[in-house]
């Protein structure tokens, strides 16, 4: 590495009990034999799986977590939420919740939104992969509900919405636009409709009862900011994946 790896640290989900990170592209960094430059943790990217495993070990070190304690989703754009008590790779999963001390939850994104959630008072965390399909299916609400089922309280939950594709860049067909409320669809500025995915995710969190003051929405656009982020829409198979990680810290 020629310089340190760069992460976004959500300001509302970093204190003694709950820690969180969002990895940037880090294009200056690469491991031997990697086809995709940067800190790519995407199992579903066009990369050698041994390279991805090496990258995950790097990520684990950077987040001060043993890789065996990181729960990693093999995402399928579903609304499936899993309660986890240990690390590992979880097939057909797009969200996690946990109250196990020492565990980290990891979501991979390259245009979709990652939503990190934490209740430090009741020691419950959650993480959701929220692309337009999962968001439209209700994965945000189901993740929050699952957190409450294992002890979280709605007024104690803090939320972070990661960089993702912005409304300016997210052109969709009419069949996709029709799945979203009009307030989250721009219909008149461009030839085709554009969806405000971040705004929709924010609205879902508020609808569930999380106070607006507890929600931090990152302004970064994965499509427009080529220096800092991977983007599947921009790069197709050459896109890596960023990692959104939240950890329920064991502090004694």
Amino acid 1: pLDDT: 43
What is the largest distance, in Å, between two alpha-carbon atoms of the chain? 57
Burial 13-32 (b: 16+ CB within 10 A, else e): bbeebbbbbbbbbbbebbbe
Q: Could you give the 3-state DSSP secondary structure of residue 211?
A: coil
User: Mind listing the pLDDT tens digit of every residue in the chain (252 residues)?
Assistant: 446 999 999 999 999 999 999 999 999 998 889 999 999 999 889 999 999 999 999 999 999 999 999 999 999 999 999 999 999 999 999 999 999 999 999 999 999 999 999 999 999 999 999 999 999 999 999 999 999 999 999 999 999 999 999 999 999 999 999 999 999 999 988 889 999 999 999 999 999 999 999 999 999 999 999 999 999 999 999 999 999 999 999 875
- Contacts for 248-251 with beta carbons within 8 Å, 24 or more apart? 248/17, 248/18, 248/98, 248/99, 248/100, 248/101, 248/102, 248/103, 248/104, 248/118, 248/123, 248/124, 248/125, 249/16, 249/17, 249/18, 249/19, 249/101, 249/102, 250/101, 250/102, 251/16, 251/17
Q: What is the reported pTM?
A: 0.96
pLDDT at site 76 = 96
Contact assessment for residue 222 and residue 167, using Cβ atoms and an 8 Å cutoff: no
Domain 7-248 grouped into CATH 3.60.140.10? yes
Distance of CA 149 to the CA centre of its chain: 21
Which pLDDT score, from 0 to 100, does residue 31 have? 87
């Amino acid at each position: 590495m020629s310089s340190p790896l760069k992460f976004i640290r959500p300001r509302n989900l970093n204190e003694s009990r709950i820690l969180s990170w969002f990895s940037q592209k880090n294009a200056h960094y690469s491991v031997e034999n990697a086809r995709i430059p940067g800190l790519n943790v995407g199992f579903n990217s066009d990369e050698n799986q041994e390279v991805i495993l090496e990258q995950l070990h790097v990520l684990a070190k950077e987040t001060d977590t043993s890789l065996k304690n990181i729960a990693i989703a093999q995402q399928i754009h579903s609304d499936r939420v899993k309660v986890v008590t240990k690390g590992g790779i979880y097939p057909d999963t797009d969200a996690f919740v946990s109250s196990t001390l020492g565990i980290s939850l990891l979501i991979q994104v390259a245009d979709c939104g990652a939503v990190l959630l934490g209740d430090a008072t009741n020691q419950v965390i959650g993480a959701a992969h929220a692309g337009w399909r999962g968001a439209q299916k209700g994965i945000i609400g189901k993740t929050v509900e699952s957190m409450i089922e294992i002890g979280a309280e709605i007024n104690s939950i803090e939320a972070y919405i990661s960089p993702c594709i912005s409304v300016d860049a997210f052109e969709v067909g009419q069949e996709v636009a029709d799945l979203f409320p009009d307030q989250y669809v721009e219909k008149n500025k461009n030839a085709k409709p554009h969806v405000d995915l971040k705004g929709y995710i924010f609205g879902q969190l508020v609808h569930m009862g999380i106070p607006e003051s507890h929600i931090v929405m990152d302004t970064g656009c994965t499509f427009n900011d080529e220096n800092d982020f991977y983007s599947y829409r921009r790069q197709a198979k050459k896109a890596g994946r960023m990692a959104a990680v939240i950890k329920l810290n064991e502090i004694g």
